[in-house]
Structure 1
Amino acid sequence: MRKAWLALAVLVLPAAKAARIYLVPTRVPWVAVVQSAIHATCSAPGTLDALLSANLGAKASTRVAELRVDVGDRVRAGQVLMCLDRTELADQVREAAAASDAAEHQVRVAAAALKRAEVLQDRAARDLRRHESLQVDGLRILSEADLDGTRTQARAAVEDTGQARAALALAVSARGQAGAGLAAARSRLRDATILAPFDGLVTARWKSPGDVVTPGSALLSLVNVPSLVVVARFDESLIGRIRPGAAAQVRFDSAPDRSLPGLVARVNRSVDPDTREFTVNVALDALPEAWAMGERARVELPDQLVPSAQTIPAGFLAVRRGRKGLWILKGARAEFQAVAVGVADGTRLEVLTRLPAGTRVLDPRGLWPGMRVAAP
């Protein structure tokens, strides 16, 4: 019997609780959405990045012969950073030069052959004209067989000239290919000496002396220190409120107790289709003593004035199933409505989603969808 009563209690108590929630009105504090000015700080996560950086790589299959810099070294534009083995590359240049010389010789031979063929063609044409002139007025100085032979020689000379001209064209094309091969070999030899493309700082080294490299292998990473910025990600709702030149404060995760001043250098005009965020480049007045590329930071843009915004007390914002929203009083019942939010000043919060005039927002504590509410 006791078990039966327990089972009945398990069924009845939740039902009683549900009846109390959905049938008996619960007094819940509420506020009205109002239009007011809000003087707030916009905050967003960011990472340290560089507007000017380079990943230097190999352009040929060889080995690392010499390393002249390492991570943390400052370099000047044109400075030698690394030397790759030049032995095979120099051999390739010599082979390509020999092939280029041979191709040039073939062009000269083909040009001479064409010149001879043109001379023979001209001579055969003159012989044919002379022999045909002897066959006028019924006079036949030459036999028909001799005349046919002269005509055959003239046609053969024309064909020989055409073949010689085609051979010259092929030789010229081969010379161009050989020249391109020589230029490429010389370029690979030059590229065996890795130079700094700009003044910067070495942030990564991927290879050591003796390592084998192939085309595309990463060797060194270089950044231009003056181009370092913090790239912050803001919600798209703020894109019209952030202007270049605005003051900013940056706190790196490595030193959260230190705030570094900076300025908004650029507002990038593209929104990520997945996160619905846009990026802002913040230039720092001075870098921290210790920093690393990709380091996380928090960017704050203080004194962002919104003269007329739809606002509520910050404590009335709720989160349900991962979505931000408000509990709205509708027909004496609580209804959750997802909303987009903007800036906050610590006490009040901007609501970007337009709500009808007179909307009552309920205190979110202890509310359930459809719960019966008595708003005093």
Structure 2
Amino acid sequence: MTVQVFGLGTVEARITSSIGFEVGAALAELNADHGDRVKYGDVIARLHSAEQEARVAKSQAGIINAEATVTRAVAAIDKARAVLTQRKQRNDRKQALLSNKTISIEVAEEAQMEADVAAAELAVAISDREVAEALLKDAKSQYDYEQVLLDHHVLKVPYDAIVVARHKELGAVLTPGEPLFTLVAPETVWALAYVDEARAGDIRVGQAAEVRLRSQPRQLLWGHVSRIGIESDRVSEERKVYIACDTCPESFYLGEQAEVFITTTVLDKALLVPEMAVEGFDETHGTVWTVEDGHLRHREVAFGRRTLDSRLEIVGGLPKGARVVSTLRPGLREGRKAKFTENVAP
């Protein structure tokens, strides 16, 4: 005997994305439409980008200008070093002549000052090169930034997908972040079933499940429990159970109603009684009428699992050989003689 739990839900997908551009502009190119299959990296749309292309060109010119400034600064350093070497040599000669009292102190001091000025000019030239190199880095960063903004004018597919919807047409002006396409990863399609909390206690991940779609009522699809929602609905008192398909349909329709039957266990041997034949049932206990030694008895029994056709498994409370009355009829009373029943306690 197979014990199943029923859930009613819809066809959904684990990976569904609404994608668009990070910048705003007019749509200049569209390469995909509803129902198309697209691959990772495919270009499916472009924005008008002439203005941004001009900014990229301007930033490229800025790099060229900055590189020229660096080249000029390096040449200035070479010149300043040559001048400094020349003036150091002249100063050394002047200081030697001064020690021999061949020249005046004023001439020697002038030579020393020229050498010091040349050293200062070299330091300035080195500083100018550092500034020029910093400006070059800034120009390259600006170019990278403008190039990124230009790349944002191209919309690429983030994963292999099916286009569920296209929300705009050519010429439409989009704002940043506005959805243009809705995509779904077809391999992540599953059924989302809502199961009554009172029936969901035995559901486990990995259990087999059958799915019947509303559009194909005569066809059963096979799957398994992939995820059980951690949070139940506080109003409807239902639990979300996600069923991944083992035999997936060729086509799918998101939001289509689906009936789900989850197999929670298989009973090799069980004594079952219709719920309508139980009095005072509280989900775990109730009373049933039995036939024992040819007489009716009223006994409280314990129940286990419940089948989809509203039969309850009796797991305790019956003496050996007792037969359970499966249909309640007028006139049942304790001790009355009886002959017939369908169920026998093992």
Cα distance change on mapping 1:163 and 1:45 into 2, 3 Å: farther
Taking structure 1 as the reference length, the TM-score comes to 0.59
Q: Give, in angstroms, the shift of residue 291 of structure 1.
A: 0.6
1:330 is matched with none
Whole-Å Cα distance in 2 between the matches of residues 273 and 159 of structure 1?
A: 78
Structure 1 residue 226 and structure 2 residue 187: aligned? yes
Cα distance change on mapping 1:61 and 1:113 into 2, 3 Å: farther
Report if aligned partners of 2:190, 2:242 keep a CA contact under 8 Å in 1. Answer: no
Report if aligned partners of 2:211, 2:223 keep a CA contact under 8 Å in 1. Answer: no
Q: After superposition, give the CA deviation of every residue in 1:305-344 in whole Å (9 maximum; x if it has no partner).
A: 599xxxxx797348xxxxxx999xxxxxxxxxxxxxx974
2:83 to 120, 123, 146: 120
1:262 is matched with 222
Whole-Å Cα distance in 1 between the matches of residues 2 and 189 of structure 2?
A: 30
Cα distance change on mapping 1:86 and 1:277 into 2, 3 Å: same
Report if aligned partners of 1:229, 1:284 keep a CA contact under 8 Å in 2. Answer: no
2:141 to 144, 163, 180: 180
1:316 is matched with 281
Structure 1 residue 210 and structure 2 residue 149: aligned? no
Whole-Å Cα distance in 2 between the matches of residues 248 and 326 of structure 1?
A: 28
Alignment of 1:241-252 (within 5 A): 242-244=204-206, 246-252=207-213
Structure 2 counterpart SS, 1:316: coil
Q: Give, in angstroms, the shift of residue 100 of structure 1.
A: 2.0
Q: After superposition, give the CA deviation of every residue in 1:39-76 in whole Å (9 maximum; x if it has no partner).
A: 63244565544344443321333210232322222334
Report if aligned partners of 1:241, 1:304 keep a CA contact under 8 Å in 2. Answer: no
Cα distance change on mapping 1:298 and 1:169 into 2, 3 Å: farther
Structure 1 counterpart SS, 2:128: helix
Q: Give, in angstroms, the shift of residue 297 of structure 1.
A: 4.2
Structure 2 spans left out of the alignment, 5+ residues: 269-274, 287-303, 315-346
2:58 to 95, 100, 119: 95
Cα distance change on mapping 1:128 and 1:304 into 2, 3 Å: farther
Report if aligned partners of 1:47, 1:230 keep a CA contact under 8 Å in 2. Answer: yes
Cα distance change on mapping 1:51 and 1:114 into 2, 3 Å: farther
Q: After superposition, give the CA deviation of every residue in 1:97-132 in whole Å (9 maximum; x if it has no partner).
A: 222222222222222222222323333343444444
Q: Give, in angstroms, the shift of residue 84 of structure 1.
A: 1.9
1:82 is matched with 45
1:13 is matched with none
Q: Give, in angstroms, the shift of residue 229 of structure 1.
A: 2.4
Output the aligned Cα RMSD: 4.2
Structure 1 residue 66 and structure 2 residue 29: aligned? yes
2:249 to 273, 278, 287: 287
Structure 2 counterpart SS, 1:60: coil
**Number of equivalent positions:** 283
Cα distance change on mapping 1:41 and 1:147 into 2, 3 Å: farther
Q: After superposition, give the CA deviation of every residue in 1:160-188 in whole Å (9 maximum; x if it has no partner).
A: 22332222222222222322333343444
Taking structure 2 as the reference length, the TM-score comes to 0.63
Structure 2 counterpart SS, 1:71: coil
In structure 2, what residue type is equivalent to 1:261? Answer: L
